[in-house]
């Protein structure tokens, strides 16, 4: 089984962090991989699981620190750069 896939995705325990927001036409869920502990962002488009990406703690921290309007732009920029 591949690591860091949907089967190993565990939502962040804090819902304010787990449901980090939307931007760029997608919605994002923050969590970790139960297998290797990597920080993950799960991307959803139209309510359908689109992709899961390994990200750094710094990336998540930057999203959390940004005010809502700016967070949306940051998320969109990140998603478009994938
Ligand atoms: Zn993993």
pTM of the model: 0.93
Let me know if residue 44 belongs to a domain: yes
Q: How far is the CA of 43 from the centre of ligand 1 (A)?
A: 16
Low-confidence ranges of the chain (pLDDT < 70): 1
Question: Which structural domain range is residue 23 located in?
Answer: 6-80
Instruction: Count the neighbouring beta carbons within 10 Å of the beta carbon of residue 39.
Output: 19
Question: Would residue 61 count as lying in a domain?
Answer: yes
Q: How many independent structural domains does the chain possess?
A: 1
Q: What residues form DSSP beta bridges with 49?
A: 44
pLDDT at 68: 87
User: Is 31 among the domain residues?
Assistant: yes
Contact, 55 vs 61, CB < 8 A?
Answer: no
pLDDT of res. 1: 55
Residue 1: inside a domain: no
| Residues near ion ligand 1 (Cβ under 5 Å) | 3-4, 33, 35-36, 38
CB 20 within 8 A of CB 11: no
pLDDT given at position 57 = 96
């Amino acid at each position: 089984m591949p690591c860091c896939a949907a089967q190993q995705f565990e939502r962040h325990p804090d819902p304010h962090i787990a449901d980090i927001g939307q931007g760029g036409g997608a919605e994002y869920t923050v969590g970790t991989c139960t297998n290797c502990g990597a920080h993950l962002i799960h991307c959803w488009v139209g309510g359908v699981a689109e992709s899961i990406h390994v990200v750094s703690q710094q990336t998540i921290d930057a999203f959390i620190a940004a005010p809502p309007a700016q967070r949306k732009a940051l998320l969109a920029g990140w998603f478009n750069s994938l």
